[in-house]
Structure 1
């Protein structure tokens, strides 16, 4: 009895501790909510006043995405997550700053900018050039410059860097992981059904090395993308052609001559204009712009422009993320949501044209066709302009075929006209784990989708025919939209990836152009005034879980992806999105998807 009384006391003590812990957690969450409301209220009522003689500081952080950013659920300081940058809000901000008499210059601070797609680099670069055309200067300063950061900084009139910094231009690389041998050792049998010799996504699950098709295809478009990126940097900096390649090739020798000084090597190659600390850079700007007078430096977060979501004659819809059926979620383009927004644009009599901005690696073939069909209905009543962003491949290319005209940047990643299906079975895994199984069914098909048993050859036959049929539909959709024969499309299909410039040469798009060019074309085709405004049609993000994930990133996971290379993170996330479909009763779904590895 004595021991039981002590056990009871211990249990009561543990219960009291847990109760105290629960109350503490509740109090912390309540406090966080109160702080969030206070910050939100302060932000709402506080309208920053831009003073004369101001310099706009573009202190960008996180990743550049197409869609406008959701208002953070918690203050950034609490969430401790990068807020990211909306490409379209950034473009609007630069256009506004060019016309704002209070803004006399722009200072780029890009140390915290992590990831920008190749086409987005071009979009921002052109916006910076438009700003300079207003007669106002741009400066750039960084502790260091990654290749992405430097590509943007190169559009500045002058670039300064910390004396101990470096300019890390290195070229482009594409990397991929191969799990074939691992999955076999775990007893997992991955059944692949694909149409297109270059549709290489499934090989990651069946092989331990890349195919020759993947190597040749990647090398072809990657070299073209690098050519355009390097030329853009050289033109912006006034360098001789091929200067960037020469700098990379001769870096060891240059560094030796500079006694190991990376900043000195960059300066000798004219990649930067000087080595200064940040306070010295500010003083330099004040001397040049304000004749020594103190200037007002306005941060991007205070000055940034909100997108117009009220009135306009040109509707802009952003189609970003993996394409799936159902409503849109964080990182997922839902066909249900997109179809609703396109219908809204079509039925609104005040809207005279639609610009669909596509930034997607693809996804469900069925969902892609639902979106394309809705665009086709719409273009019969008003112009539909497709503006391709960083990537419009596979399913992203499929939906683009619903437009009246298709534009892409020279470095947009597009094409990948092909289809695949994946169906893993785990009968070998059960054998390794010494687990038996049994089943009773009224027909061979009733139990054919069970993942714990070998795949029936008759089901394999069905899936093979289904993928072939979907690929044929894809070819016919492209042939009809691009006014090509099916045979002509076959020569540029097979799942092969192209840059926008290569796609233009192969008649897969109508012209090379950025988002601004798409807006100009929409005004022209709809016979609107050259100053006709745009309205962004955006589905309100009412899903609390999606808002939390988007606002707080990996905050809920204490470990997150710490220590895992970004290339691996991105590939795992894209793979997870597809394999999750297998776990939700859709194990034999057909995908028009292009798993593009991280471009570094």
Structure 2
């Protein structure tokens, strides 16, 4: 006779489990003959959070991790493309943007989001935004929605772009540090922070003109989305901080709601509490142990995917980000010449990669490293279509690497140009004497003074350094003129270190088109004569070794997105200090820099 317990176990195995979608059988039986419940309304939830990078490096923000925050960067283009894909979703579910968490997008990223939000509008999707205390970035995203709700005790910050430039001359004089600087060109914006106690009038006028052009795109975006006169938007920017009532009266929002949180507000808008929120950005992984080793494993191991062999025609987006430095090994937050050249050469050799878009987010850096990367890109362009797409900044060395005669796309808010170079050496003689330190420099000729910490360049050494800087600047002008099909004198007229917005650069012939990454990819595909193709982003994020490199390498801590968000309040201070620190670390002749100090933010 069969054991009753065994019979029960066999029965459990033989009876198939009911799918969850069939509901609860017990309640269904009781409800026989009664009216079926109406299906609950589905709402797609978009809730941006944290730092967004075009291509997150290593998958973590090291300073945020050390400060007890989540530490992970988010991939901007994954976010943006997911927004665009909602236009193709079947059904008429509303899309709810909960914009209460801290996040930030730069001007170039906001323009990319605007293009994708227009697809939702064209598809007839209902979009609702909820705000509490809205920053300028949060509001610009909200304004692109069909309906904007603002908590009654909250407010809106509607600001124009601004810059903060830190001048070091008085501080250097105070501590007894003298800088020897040689430069080229009639415009000295990059070196003014080291030479002058305050900004010159002509530099201020130049920056105001650039900010005006960048702000025109901000005003256009808000005015178009909210159907407000651009002059009204500009007057609201001058006020900057608006209460809920002021924002409603100005037409910036559609509705003031109680401060009850996003989900209760959504229920009030829908007229029902019976709705299901579905994460439109993808499912979140279940949290596990929070121990150190498990955190390290979660941060690095799952994210570090092996590069799969490509099986179909592909357009590669090569992200070239960070300060440009010489070297053979990678450093977080930097574009290191050796690894970057190797990555470019790999794309050139891959037969499945039919074309490449080089996406640049760099203020420049070493002139020699810039040239090594430019030549690698030139070799790549000789084999397959290559188009440049500029992000937030592609200036000085970041512009140098584009000088190969290929099309250049930039956003209206992009900062580019800064065609100029300089070299700098600190002299600590006064400081050393104050603290009782004396340097004896022993050499066979005056060339040893190049390495002295206490002595300034004499006239002969300064002249030799000026000759080297002149040669590199002449090279910069020559490659830019050839690339853009311009006379060298015409390039010189807009060079000298001047920075330009994307629209200003187009008017001066420095770029081809004001447009985003999608347009650049489309041009590559057209030139490659491919229609059905995949898009990949390179390089892939690294693992724990990349994290440690990012944390401790030169410029790594200053290069991560969240730290930069905080340092934006200090303007160009990190860029100024980076050049100063390198001049102390460098054991050879003074490095020649192609770098801009211009930092623009919506602050």
- Within 5 Å, which residues of 2 pair with 1:154-553? 154-249=143-238, 262-277=243-258, 279=260, 282=263, 285=266, 293-298=274-279, 300=281, 302=283, 310=308, 311=310, 312-326=313-327, 327-402=329-404, 404-529=406-531, 531-542=532-543, 544=545, 546-547=547-548
Matched residue of 1:318: which SS?
strand
1:263-285 per-position Cα deviation (integer Å, ceiling 9, x unaligned): 00000101011112465754564
Match of residue 58 from structure 1? 46
Match of residue 17 from structure 1? none
* Deviation of 1:242 (Å): 1.7
Matched residue of 1:472: which SS?
helix
Matched residue of 2:245: which SS?
helix
Q: What's the C-alpha RMSD, in Å, of the aligned pairs?
A: 3.3
Match of residue 152 from structure 1? 141
TM-score (norm 2): 0.81
Query: Structure 1 residues 110 and 543 mapped into 2: Cα distance closer, same or farther (>3 Å)?
Result: same
Mean Cα deviation higher: 71-80 or 380-389: 71-80
1:503-524 per-position Cα deviation (integer Å, ceiling 9, x unaligned): 1111111111111111111111
1:306-331 per-position Cα deviation (integer Å, ceiling 9, x unaligned): 99964451011111111111233221
1:351-387 per-position Cα deviation (integer Å, ceiling 9, x unaligned): 1110010011111111111111111111111110100
Quote the Cα distance in structure 2 between the aligned partners of 1:76 and 1:106.
Answer: 31
Match of residue 131 from structure 1? 120
* Deviation of 1:303 (Å): 6.5
* Deviation of 1:498 (Å): 0.9
* Deviation of 1:439 (Å): 2.8
* Deviation of 1:78 (Å): 8.6
Quote the Cα distance in structure 1 between the aligned partners of 2:67 and 2:567.
Answer: 24
Match of residue 578 from structure 2? 577
* Deviation of 1:499 (Å): 0.9
User: 8 Å contact 1:60–1:85 — kept in the other structure?
Assistant: no
Structure with more relative contact order (C-alpha pairs < 8 Å, separation 6 or more):
2
User: 8 Å contact 1:386–1:407 — kept in the other structure?
Assistant: yes
Match of residue 95 from structure 1? 84
Quote the Cα distance in structure 2 between the aligned partners of 1:99 and 1:264.
Answer: 36
* Deviation of 1:148 (Å): 1.6
Matched residue of 2:149: which SS?
strand
Unaligned runs of 5+ in 2: 1-20, 22-38, 286-302
Unaligned runs of 5+ in 1: 1-48, 256-261
1:405-434 per-position Cα deviation (integer Å, ceiling 9, x unaligned): 111112211111111111111111112223
Quote the Cα distance in structure 1 between the aligned partners of 2:596 and 2:405.
Answer: 21
Quote the Cα distance in structure 2 between the aligned partners of 1:540 and 1:85.
Answer: 11
Matched residue of 2:422: which SS?
strand
User: 8 Å contact 2:428–2:453 — kept in the other structure?
Assistant: yes
TM-score (norm 1): 0.82
Quote the Cα distance in structure 1 between the aligned partners of 2:96 and 2:567.
Answer: 28
Quote the Cα distance in structure 2 between the aligned partners of 1:546 and 1:115.
Answer: 22
Query: Structure 1 residues 277 and 365 mapped into 2: Cα distance closer, same or farther (>3 Å)?
Result: farther
Quote the Cα distance in structure 2 between the aligned partners of 1:569 and 1:109.
Answer: 30
Quote the Cα distance in structure 2 between the aligned partners of 1:308 and 1:53.
Answer: 40
Match of residue 122 from structure 1? 111
* Deviation of 1:537 (Å): 2.2
1:57-81 per-position Cα deviation (integer Å, ceiling 9, x unaligned): 3322333321135345999799324
Quote the Cα distance in structure 2 between the aligned partners of 1:362 and 1:510.
Answer: 20
Query: Structure 1 residues 58 and 337 mapped into 2: Cα distance closer, same or farther (>3 Å)?
Result: farther
1:180-233 per-position Cα deviation (integer Å, ceiling 9, x unaligned): 012112111111111133331222122110012321210111111111111111
Quote the Cα distance in structure 2 between the aligned partners of 1:250 and 1:438.
Answer: 59
Quote the Cα distance in structure 2 between the aligned partners of 1:407 and 1:251.
Answer: 31
Quote the Cα distance in structure 1 between the aligned partners of 2:592 and 2:325.
Answer: 11
* Deviation of 1:289 (Å): 6.3
Query: Structure 1 residues 206 and 309 mapped into 2: Cα distance closer, same or farther (>3 Å)?
Result: same
Match of residue 12 from structure 2? none
* Deviation of 1:139 (Å): 1.6
Q: Aligned pair count?
A: 535
